[in-house]
């Protein structure tokens, strides 16, 4: 496919690529976003489990959702070809960073180092009071004893290190993203509908700084008209061919 070859040429020419990933990349690892196809996801309302006010009002709602739905999905999910290819680009010295809307931690599992998780990481947790951090396996053990899980140091509530609805994005991560975009020569938006902020504006920042803009997404996005290249097929399929074609 000519479009993939063209993107492959650009990857070969670039030294400071920034890849931006959205839900489409997680979906290829079997992770549904807010509404999955199976009945379990429909049992829980994202207006509740993803909302910070509701989390403090009734933390057991989030933790029941986590135990029954999210944790089993995360334990099964493995990095796919897109995650692995992005990590490969970094190890070859071509990638500045991967910026992601996803909270599943799969870029880290694939071996990426410079990862900017705009919405946090749902495999990491911390005590709301003493800030002690917990991994998912530790929290799953605490959940067996008590729901919601309690901090083993101070017995306070434990929360996931994600950005809930009603919370601001981490300004440090945002400014790091903007810094990387100011230096990037190729911005690849992958598997994001580019509708919500900051997904809608990050490609513009890169483009205004002189980067080429490539969009890979199954469906059209509002930014297609300003992109230098648009590919409407699966992200994994594109990245597989690109990494195979890298000239060392
Ligand atoms: Zn604590």
pLDDT in tens, 189-244: 999 999 988 999 999 999 999 999 999 999 999 999 999 999 999 999 999 999 99
> Ligand 1 mean position to 149 CA, how many Å?
11
Domain 32-76+124-162 class, CATH top level = alpha beta
pLDDT above 60 for 16: yes
Q: Dump pLDDT digits (tens) for 69-87.
A: 999 999 999 999 999 999 9
pTM: 0.94
Alpha helices in the chain (DSSP H): 2-13, 23-27, 39-43, 46-49, 52-57, 59-65, 71-76, 81-91, 106-110, 136-145, 171-183, 202-208, 235-244
Ligand 1 centre and the CA of 136: distance in Å? 16
pLDDT category at 248 given cuts 50, 70, 90 is low
Distance 175 CA to ligand 1 centre (A): 29
Q: At CA 235, angle to CA 229 and CA 240, rounded to 5? A: 100
- The domain segmentation of the chain, as residue ranges, is 1-30+79-119+168-248, 32-76+124-162
- Asked if CATH classification 3.40.50.1220 holds for the domain at 1-30+79-119+168-248, the reply, yes or no, is yes
Flag whether pLDDT at 46 surpasses 70: yes
Distance 130 CA to ligand 1 centre (A): 4
pLDDT at 246: 84
Look at residue 100 in the predicted model and tell me its pLDDT: 98
Residue with tokens 């100011």: 182
Report how far ligand 1's centroid is from the alpha carbon of 219 (Å): 44
Q: Compute how many other C-beta atoms are within 10 angstroms of the C-beta atom of residue 244.
A: 9
The tokens for 41 are 């996801």
pLDDT tens-digit map of 99-149? 999 999 999 999 999 999 999 999 999 999 999 999 999 999 999 999 999
pLDDT higher than threshold 60 for residue 37:
no
Measured at the CA of 201, the angle between CA 197 and CA 207, to 5 degrees, comes to 160
Which sequence positions are flagged as catalytic? 119
């Amino acid at each position: 496919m000519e479009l993939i070859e063209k993107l492959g040429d650009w990857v070969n020419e670039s030294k400071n690529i920034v890849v931006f990933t959205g839900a489409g990349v997680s979906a290829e690892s079997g992770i549904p976003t807010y509404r999955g196809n199976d009945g379990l996801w429909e049992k829980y309302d994202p207006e509740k489990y993803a909302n910070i006010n509701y989390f403090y009002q009734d933390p057991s709602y989030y933790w029941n959702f986590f135990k029954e739905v999210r944790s089993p999905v995360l334990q099964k999910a493995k990095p796919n070809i897109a995650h692995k290819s992005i990590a490969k680009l970094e190890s070859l010295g071509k990638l500045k960073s991967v910026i992601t809307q996803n909270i599943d931690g799969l870029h880290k599992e694939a071996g990426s180092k410079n990862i900017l998780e705009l919405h946090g990481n749902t495999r990491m947790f911390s005590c709301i009071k003493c800030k002690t951090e917990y991994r998912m396996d530790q929290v799953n053990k605490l959940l067996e004893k008590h729901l919601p899980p309690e901090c083993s140091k101070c017995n306070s509530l434990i929360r996931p290190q994600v950005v809930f609805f009603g919370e601001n994005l981490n300004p440090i991560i945002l400014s790091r993203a903007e810094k990387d975009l100011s230096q990037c020569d190729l911005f690849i938006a992958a598997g994001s509908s580019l509708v919500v902020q900051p997904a809608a504006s990050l490609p513009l920042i890169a483009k205004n700084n002189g980067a080429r803009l490539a969009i890979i997404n199954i469906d059209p996005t509002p930014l297609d008209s300003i992109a230098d290249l648009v590919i409407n097929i699966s992200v994994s399929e594109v990245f597989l061919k690109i990494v195979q074609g890298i000239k060392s």
